[in-house]
Amino acid sequence: MAEFFERLKLRVIWSCAGLRDTWLSEYSFRSWVWANVVSGGLAIWLLTGAELALILALGILVLVMELMNTAIERAVDLVSLERSELARMAKDAGSAGVMVSAIAAGVAWVAVLVR
In the residue annotation, 66 being an active-site residue is answered as yes
Considering 66, 73, 82, 85, which one is annotated as catalytic? Answer: 66
Task: Output the 3-class SS for the chain.
Answer: CHHHHHHHHHHHHHHHHHHHHHHHHCHHHHHHHHHHHHHHHHHHHHCCHHHHHHHHHHHHHHHHHHHHHHHHHHHHHHHCCCCCHHHHHHHHHHHHHHHHHHHHHHHHHHHHHHC
Catalytic residues: 66
